C-alpha cells in the first residue's frame, strides 16, 4: 500500500527561526516515517515582493540545508526547488484563467501585504494563492500541513480544484469515479506550536521583524542564544504560569521550554510555578543550546558542501518532475490543448 502523500513549502526569504521549526519542520520530520513527503523551497513566491537577486539562490540553499539539518532525510523525502520545475508556473497560468478575480480580492494575506507595498503592489502578489494551488495540486497530496495563516489559501486551493473538475472533469482519462484533480485536506498545525516574538508576546515570531532580538534563528550560536534570552521581554511578576492573557511573554517562553524539553504541560507548569525569571532564563537558555547546537553544526557542514546539497536538489527535482509532469499533461489534455509536436 502506498503511503499517504504530504506536501508543504517555505519561502526562502531569510534565516529560518524557531517558529518555522516548531510550527512546521519538526512536524514534517515526525510525519516523514508514515508519509511520502514532498517539501520545497517556494522561491517563485519569494519574488512576489521586492527581493535581492544577490541573495535568492543562497537563501534557497539555506532553507534546503535547514530542512536536512532538522532531520528531513533526502533519501526518504523529496526536497526540491519550486522554480526548477516549470510545471508550477505553467499550471498557475492555467488556473489563472479559471479563477474568478473576486476570489483573490478576498484574500486576507494579500490585503495585509498589499498595504505594505503601497502603489507598487504587483500582479504576482495578487496571484500568489493561485501559484500555491498549482504547487499543491500538481502532486496530488492527501495532506498539506500548514500554519493557521495559510488556511484561507488552502480553501482557495480546494475551490480551484473543485471548479476545475467541474469545468473539465468529464474528459478525465482516469475515468469518472476519480476526479481530474485530487482535492487535498489541510492539516492545520495546532495553536500550541505558535511561537511568538521575544520582544512582544502578542505578535508572531517573524522573519520580517526588523529586530533580530525578537526571534531565535535555528543557526544562532550559543553566545547569541544566551544574549537573546537575557534581553527578551518579561514581566515584573514572580512565579510562572501558562494561559494568563495578561502575561503573553510568560506563556510563550514556558511553551518554548515545554516544546524543546519534550515535557508535558502539567509537569512544566508545576516545576516552574514558583520560579523567578532569574532562575527560569538560564534553564531555557540551556535547553535551547542543547536542542539547537546539533542542528547548527549539521547546517554549517551542509552549507560547506555545495556538491552534496546540489545533488540532493537535483535528485529532488527529478523525482518531483515524474509526478508533476503527469498531472500537467492530464490537465492540458482535459482543457483541450493541442499535443506538442
Ligand atoms: N505560502 C506559504 C507560506 O508562506 C508557502 C507555500 C507556497 C506553500 N506554496 C505552498 C505551503 C504549498 C504549502 C503548500 O507559508
User: pLDDT, tens digit, for every residue of 153-202?
Assistant: 999 999 999 999 999 987 445 555 678 999 999 998 775 568 999 999 99
**Better-predicted residue by pLDDT, 190 or 328:** 328
- Contact residues for 231 (Cβ-Cβ < 8 A; gap 6+): 198, 213
Q: Where are the alpha helices (DSSP H) in 190-274?
A: 222-231, 248-261, 265-272
User: pLDDT, tens digit, for every residue of 236-283?
Assistant: 998 999 999 999 999 999 999 999 999 999 999 999 999 999 999 999
List the residue whose alpha carbon is closest to atom 15 of ligand 1. 10
User: pLDDT, tens digit, for every residue of 6-51?
Assistant: 999 999 998 899 999 998 999 999 999 999 999 999 999 999 999 9
Element (H, E) at 275: none
List the residue whose alpha carbon is closest to atom 2 of ligand 1. 10
pLDDT at position 332 over 90: yes
User: pLDDT, tens digit, for every residue of 41-84?
Assistant: 999 999 999 999 999 999 999 999 999 999 999 999 999 999 99
List the residue whose alpha carbon is closest to atom 13 of ligand 1. 8
Number of Cβ atoms within 10 Å of the Cβ of 249: 19
- Is 113 an annotated catalytic residue? yes
Specify whether the CB–CB gap between 15 and 56 falls below 8 A.
no
- Contact residues for 321 (Cβ-Cβ < 8 A; gap 6+): 85, 87
* Lining residues, ligand 1, CB within 6 Å: 7-9, 11, 42, 45, 132, 135-136, 144, 146, 150
- CA distances to 54, 96, 134, 206 from 127, rounded to whole Å, are 24, 8, 11, 23
Q: Which atom of ligand 1 is nearest to the CA of 153?
A: 1
Catalytic residue, from 182, 207, 227, 265: name it: 207
**Better-predicted residue by pLDDT, 6 or 206:** 6
User: pLDDT, tens digit, for every residue of 108-149?
Assistant: 999 999 998 888 899 999 999 999 999 999 999 999 999 888
pLDDT at position 321 over 60: yes
Written as nine digits, the cell of 336 is 483541450
Amino acid at each position: 500500500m502506498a503511503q499517504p502523500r504530504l506536501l508543504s513549502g517555505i519561502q526562502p526569504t531569510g534565516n529560518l527561526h524557531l517558529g518555522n521549526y516548531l510550527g512546521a519542520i519538526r512536524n514534517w520530520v515526525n510525519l516523514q516515517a508514515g508519509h511520502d513527503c514532498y517539501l520545497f523551497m517556494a522561491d517563485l513566491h519569494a519574488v512576489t515582493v521586492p527581493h535581492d537577486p544577490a541573495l535568492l539562490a543562497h537563501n534557497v540553499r539555506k532553507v534546503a540545508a535547514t530542512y536536512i539539518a532538522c532531520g528531513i532525510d533526502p533519501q526518504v523525502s523529496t526536497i526540491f526547488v519550486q522554480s526548477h520545475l516549470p510545471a508550477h508556473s505553467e499550471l498557475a497560468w492555467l488556473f489563472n484563467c479559471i479563477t474568478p478575480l473576486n476570489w483573490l480580492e478576498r484574500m486576507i494575506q494579500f490585503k495585509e501585504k498589499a498595504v505594505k507595498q503601497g502603489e507598487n503592489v504587483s500582479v504576482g502578489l495578487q496571484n500568489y494563492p493561485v501559484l500555491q494551488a498549482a504547487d499543491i495540486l500538481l502532486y496530488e497530496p492527501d495532506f498539506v500541513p500548514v500554519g493557521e495563516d495559510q488556511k484561507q489559501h488552502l480553501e482557495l486551493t480546494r475551490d480551484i480544484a473543485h471548479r476545475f473538475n467541474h469545468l473539465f472533469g468529464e474528459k478525465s482519462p482516469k475515468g469518472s469515479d476519480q476526479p481530474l484533480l485530487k482535492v487535498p485536506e489541510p492539516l492545520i498545525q495546532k495553536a500550541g506550536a505558535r511561537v511568538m516574538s521575544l520582544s512582544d508576546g502578542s505578535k508572531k515570531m517573524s522573519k520580517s521583524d526588523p529586530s533580530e532580538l525578537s526571534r531565535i534563528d535555528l543557526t544562532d550560536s550559543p553566545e547569541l542564544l544566551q544574549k537573546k534570552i537575557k534581553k527578551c521581554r518579561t514581566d515584573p511578576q514572580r512565579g510562572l504560569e501558562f494561559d494568563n492573557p495578561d502575561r503573553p511573554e510568560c506563556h510563550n517562553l514556558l511553551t518554548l521550554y515545554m516544546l524543546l524539553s519534550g515535557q508535558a504541560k502539567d509537569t512544566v507548569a508545576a516545576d516552574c510555578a514558583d520560579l523567578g525569571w532569574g532562575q527560569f532564563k538560564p534553564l531555557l537558555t540551556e535547553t535551547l543550546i542543547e536542542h539547537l547546537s546539533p542542528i547548527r553544526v549539521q547546517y554549517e557542514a551542509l552549507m560547506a558542501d555545495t556538491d552534496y546539497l546540489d545533488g540532493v536538489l537535483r535528485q529532488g527535482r527529478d523525482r518531483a518532475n515524474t509526478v508533476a509532469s503527469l498531472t500537467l499533461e492530464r490537465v492540458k489534455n482535459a482543457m483541450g490543448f493541442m499535443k506538442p509536436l
